[in-house]
Amino acid sequence: MEPGMKTILIIDDEPDIDLLVRQKFRRKIRVGELDFISARNGVEALSVLERRPDVSVALCDINMPQMDGMTLLGHLLERFPLVKLVMISAYNDMANIRGAMNRGAFDFLTKPLELNDLEITVDRALLQAQRMQDTLRSLRENDILKMFVNEAVFRHLSQWKNEEQIRHAEMIDATVVFFDVCGFTRLSEHQAPEEVVELLDVYFDRIAGAVVNMHGFVDKFIGDAVMAVFREPEHPRHALLAAIAARSAIADVGRDFVPRFGVLSGVTIGIHSGKMLSCSVGARSLARFDHTVIGDAVNTAARLQEAAGPWQIFVSDITRDRAGTEFLWRDRGTLEIKGKSQGLRVYEIDPLNAGDL
């Protein structure tokens, strides 16, 4: 079948109708725009549709042996809902017309056929079938997209209508959290790839769950690390609670991997709050963009994570001061950050906050 060709199924036990329809559309058949296939009754039509999922429109008689058109309509709605059926019959009384339309027929034409009317009806049916297929394809693509794009980001992008709006940048106040799985490089060298991926999936699932439960979203997965962003009210507090919950969950589930890997892989966590740019970045030439946050506040959170040891949650003094008084802290001194003239005061969330370790 040629690309772009539309397939129409003629269902009629009278060969003359088949010949008449093909004759009317002979030019479109010749140039590869339309393809016609035939069935002599409803049973044969269902068999054809099982083999030919490319059928967009069916032209169907009512009175046929084995299975009539009205019965076939019920089967189409259940098994082939995207196929647009146009009923063609000499039974042109209102009862048959209403019966066909109520059962889901796209339209009803009477015999003898008025060929110009037939062409207009077929064109409309093909257009409607294409629109339904496009809509279904978009829904499927959206479902796939949601597997790779955070739900909050997806909702944010869905409200915009063009590239200019999608790429709009805004300065926001938010808290960024970096999580990194300890010892991943060593595990990758000594364990089967599928086992390493299984471990990461379990850890990432626990991290993502803790983030979402505290109103944040996963910005991206970076190898064995996770970057999360919190921008709702009380985002410093929510970020700390998510980090504590994620650390506890990883400690619990990680023990299941000790017999297989010989070690409990921990996690290092860094948290910082401040102003950052929320925007879409990427390559226009590839039409590929990621919606993310960038800026010094993001880099600082990453440096805090790098400085933390296994199971440690390192937090900047800015986040600590904005998080409230419910947390226990250990002062870890000043962290020198590349590119900054002054060091950053760092605090560690005490494990006793949640009794998690």
Closest CA to 26 of 40, 14, 36: 36
User: How many Cβ atoms are within 10 Å of 348's Cβ, its own excluded?
Assistant: 18
Among 133, 148, 163, the domain boundary falls at: 148
**Is 107 within a domain?**
yes
Question: Quick one: 223 and 96 in the same domain?
Answer: no
pLDDT tens for each residue of 297-347: 999 999 999 999 999 999 999 999 999 888 989 999 998 877 677 888 999
User: Could you identify the residue written with the tokens 């990883």?
Assistant: 250
Alpha helices for the chain (secondary structure H) = 15-24, 26-30, 42-51, 69-79, 94-102, 115-148, 151-158, 163-166, 184-190, 193-213, 235-254, 258-261, 296-307, 317-322
Question: Quick one: 172 and 51 in the same domain?
Answer: no
Phi then psi dihedrals of residue 275, to 5 deg: -80, 140
Section 67-73 average pLDDT: 90
The DSSP bridge pattern shows strands 288-294 and 267-283 to be antiparallel
**Is 141 within a domain?**
yes
Question: Quick one: 169 and 248 in the same domain?
Answer: yes
Question: Quick one: 283 and 224 in the same domain?
Answer: yes
Tokens of 261: 């890997």
Among 131, 148, 165, the domain boundary falls at: 148
Q: What percent of the chain has pLDDT over 70?
A: 80
**Is 252 within a domain?**
yes
Tokens of 236: 């410093």
Enter the DSSP assignment of 32.
T
Question: Quick one: 55 and 196 in the same domain?
Answer: no
User: Could you identify the residue written with the tokens 């046929």?
Assistant: 64
pLDDT tens for each residue of 7-46: 999 999 888 888 999 999 999 999 889 999 999 999 999 9
Question: Quick one: 116 and 160 in the same domain?
Answer: no
Question: Quick one: 126 and 168 in the same domain?
Answer: no
The H or E element spanning position 191 is: none
Section 175-187 average pLDDT: 84
CATH number at residue 126: 3.40.50.2300
The total number of residues shown for the chain amounts to 357
CATH number at residue 207: 3.30.70.1230
**Is 1 within a domain?**
no
Which pLDDT value is given to residue 164?
Answer: 52
Q: At a CB cut-off of 8 Å and minimum separation 6, what does 270 contact?
A: 177, 178, 301, 302, 303, 304, 305, 306, 307, 308, 313, 314, 315
Among 104, 119, 148, the domain boundary falls at: 148
Domain residues for the domain of 57 are 6-148
Alpha-carbon radius of gyration of the chain: 31
**Where is pLDDT greater, at 59 or 253?**
59
The H or E element spanning position 291 is: strand 288-294
What sign does the dihedral 305-308-309-310 (CA atoms) show?
Answer: negative
Which pLDDT value is given to residue 151?
Answer: 55
Question: Quick one: 157 and 297 in the same domain?
Answer: yes
Question: Quick one: 127 and 178 in the same domain?
Answer: no
Question: Quick one: 275 and 210 in the same domain?
Answer: yes
**Is 168 within a domain?**
yes
User: Could you identify the residue written with the tokens 């200019």?
Assistant: 164
List the beta bridge partners of residue 228: 177, 218
Residue 283's pLDDT band, with cuts at 50, 70 and 90, is low
Count the domains in the chain. Answer: 2
Q: At a CB cut-off of 8 Å and minimum separation 6, what does 167 contact?
A: 279, 280, 289
Question: Quick one: 116 and 173 in the same domain?
Answer: no
**Is 242 within a domain?**
yes
Question: Quick one: 96 and 225 in the same domain?
Answer: no
